[in-house]
A and B are shown apart, each in its own frame.
Chain A
């Protein structure tokens, strides 16, 4: 099995990164590299990437640190304000849903017309051939049910992720 590393690898890389390679490196190290395939690769790749790094660092046009800091602060405040608003929105939605439920319950309990209509619907449903309907349209009904459940779940997930 071929070795994956050499014990002189780190010395070669140090010489490259300290700009000693190859002229100012120890003669023994140079002699080793000329006979070691792994160290020769380290020297070649290290020299190429180290030179490239220096070139890129001099070319780099990065935004000013103060500007990055200021933008980060603004964004952090914006996000924090948005997060702080979320519980209020959730409480408002809950209150609205409770009020709607209460109003519906009061209406149902007091309206004779509504109770009569509800009784008729219940009788009709009772008379339906449920087993036959399920056998004929069971798959479509299950698909529709799944869509009704999944779509709101997907919307909620998308909003939360946003």
Chain B
């Protein structure tokens, strides 16, 4: 089996090399069959790595300790689900997971683009296979997951108890999906640069994957935060740890890219920026992977004794050099086709948001790498702590939340100051009301948190106003009931309203972060005994009784510990019962014989099991560190060690059971950590809202599916974008973002541009006459050039308003202005 796995990897390496060669040749020579072979190599890679994953999982499930990976990270006492997850807890296994996810996502993107962007996609194929080859190469030459040992050990080390938490099943695959998806925009950006095709088309292809990368990465980060909060015994969710930061960096630049690509789509601006951001995002994702693998920075996540640092450094250096070379050498074709019309426009706000996001990424990058930077500059490694990070990230986060409220209410191209002010009245009122309410409620300390609450209210007010106005406009035309109109509005504009929902989620999340970090009460009790009470914030916590028992192993949720020692805490507020908390600590066995036949059964790691009472307004959090090293309990273990042989673990467990009873009879004081944290739940809720919004923005519109395969793709795309611009313009006028004069000027210009595109489309011969072209006015798509460009100018407005968008539900989402034109009248 191990041999088979090894063969899979070697074959995968060969497939990568072959695929790179044929893809590059296919792209350079323009011979489609070679590009096809390149794409098929990616599918083959996905197949081989899937086989590798399955083989290794079989070994984990079957406790095949001949595999080093299994013996080092799993054991018979590790429950089944955690044995499955143990695959990615080792260096080797996690590399395999990375490569596998990369091959799967690459296959998906190449399958979806199989009829588009042939040249760019061929180069992208080569680059993606390059990443695949790199990771497979690492496994073959440095960290092979299929190495075996002889003689076969009888038992494995077991999965680190800290990792035995349900999130272990989804957090790493989510995060790795995010990381690997980050390489797809990078590959296509590089492909577009190499092929010198930097128009909007590659952006249109890559947008979904950039969004998916952003979504997966964000959810992975959030899952990690909630894992930290609900398992680790410190009660925090973010510690500015190097590896946490590393995952946040590509997320921030990815967020910037998702905004700036809209400017290129619509306005043909910021092309240099738009290729640089995905390049940076991809490189940061690789760097994040590198940081975990190399242990170069001190982090609780770092792999110890890792051997793969140097190849990673070489890869990052090559990527950086390649990116810089490509952007510099292609700067001529990256010139903008438009200029920024006004500082009061959505473009300008997006640009500002980009600067803030990149600035934030720079701050975090600097702080994270500071130990190395300082070592290089001063010869003395030094690190900056969380206060340093907070000092810069908090103001930047405030600005971001504020901008997320301003962006949606400002029109594209040009907005009038009066119009902007009028549109900001509701958000500003929301912020002011929040401020007044907070002050009236007596919340006057913590100015930064209060500012965040107001900024969040501002952003929420802005989105609420957008939804309200959009619904009203739609109702005016269709006469639908408000909820129906709202749903229809959102359904038809998934990108736009998905984005707004993400803004809502982020505002909610930041409220949770600000409230929980500024207004939490923490109590660290050194010696708390049964019967005692203490106050934390407004709550009184009473230590009712201790608990101690052998962990039942027939329980499906058990994590494989030996002994569980904890406490029952009763929480009251003003004398009224609130809840009962049951924090405990799980003791695991160790492999160290020096601890004795009984001692080793609980001599391994001790892991907190946190007792939480969660609610919308506050979480009451508790963790216990029981004291087992009392003379009495130590004596029991010593006697047990002397009388019971290692061969009888069942008798050892009997002694542990006796120890548990003794603990209950004479419970020694234990250490407790108690936290009352307001609005923590809002962080997770905000995350869910972000997730929903992201999914909405990701989901394809029914019309777009039909139109995917189109004739001159770039022209079709240009037409769709122009239609969307026109439609947005109508909506901007209808919702009062634009003055009548600005509307008319821009409208005339846009219609001329649209006409130009339509004329070009008419004159292009169709490559596939059977294509379903959506617009009814294109009933004859294959017709030769009309040759009367001027004659059609007058026909355009009618053409755009021809079909009634409101009754025509399924058809067009974002692409034709007809809907809003009709609505407007």
Chains A and B form a bound pair: no
Q: Which residues of A contact B (CB under 8 A)?
A: none
Q: Which residues of B contact A (CB under 8 A)?
A: none
